[in-house]
Amino acid sequence: MIFGISYKLSKNFENGEGIYGINYFSNKLDGFKLCGIYTPGISFDQIVDKEKDIKLRKSPEEGGKPTKLSLLKADVDNLGLIFSLGFENEKITKSISRLTFLSFLFDYFFSLIINKLAEKHNIYILFSGGDDLIAAGRFDEIIKFAEELNNKFANFVKNSEITISCGIEIGNYKFPIKRFVDYATERLEESKKSGKNKITLFNNAVSWEQFEEELIIAKELHKMISEKKVGTGFLYYLHRLRENSFNKTVSENTKMILNPEPYLRYTVFRNFNCSEEEKNKIINLILKENENINNFKYINICISLVSLLNRYKLCL
């Protein structure tokens, strides 16, 4: 037993090397390799079914109602610097054993912890090991998986200097998986080029804090639409308001909006069928801004997500 985890030899090669499955142990080999290998046990055309219970999900041929497949790619930022400079402390001596243990800890996170997280959210682990991760799943479950992935990683390392970047691509479940991975890789690169410690989705690279803020708005707005307190047309209005506020090349017949707040307040109070408290709450959420976040600037993340959730009658 190691940390209460056990491993079982699941594949043995001719040269004596092998792969152990997590939760079992065997002493047939001289060593072991931690791997993230969880799969829900059903195909992609089944995993995207809108049914909540994974055991009841079906392929379209079986009567299932497919949604969108999403692919996530993530890795640890500045891993080379962490290994080369992470021990530059007069009280800490760099040694092979310390470097090996640090490597083991990353393996531990991207195997055992990732497998448990994937099982919780019905996620396919296509690859996970070292500091890399490629995962696939229904779009809403991948987004919840990504949010918890970052939170668990931050809690695991307990060091604000060690961060993770992520890219998410959403598309049809029939799309070739290799090209899906290529697009997710491009999204991850956008996160890296934008300063790292970020997530890219819906053509926006944002901080994890900004990402969570957009999820908060999305949940609230989707709930209000589901309860018929406002129509889906508000999403289109919000998109246009954002474009006219940040797009400097608006058409001749469209004026540049310098302050969206009066326009937003007018529309919300006129069209939302709810209490004044609820109206003010959604306005304040959308316009929330400080040195770290700007919810309205990145509101298209929320709009795109709510549109998909509403289309497929799903929720976060």
- Structural domains in the chain plus CATH codes: 1-33 (no CATH), 44-201 (3.30.70.270), 211-312 (no CATH)
C-beta of residue 122 within 8 angstroms of C-beta of residue 40 = yes
As a whole number of angstroms, the distance between CA 144 and CA 284 comes to 24
Pinpoint the alpha helices (H) of the chain: 44-47, 79-85, 96-108, 114-121, 139-157, 177-193, 208-226, 233-246, 261-271, 276-287, 299-312
List, run by run, the mean pLDDT of 10-residue segments along the chain (316 residues).
Answer: 41 52 49 71 95 95 96 90 62 64 80 92 90 94 97 91 95 94 97 96 96 97 97 96 79 72 96 96 96 95 97 93
Q: Checking DSSP bridges between strand 164-171 and strand 198-201, what pairing results, if any?
A: parallel
3-state secondary structure of 175: coil
In this predicted model, what pLDDT tens digit does every residue of 130-143 receive, in sequence order?
A: 788 999 999 999 99
pLDDT at residue 159 in the model: 84
pLDDT at residue 200 in the model: 98
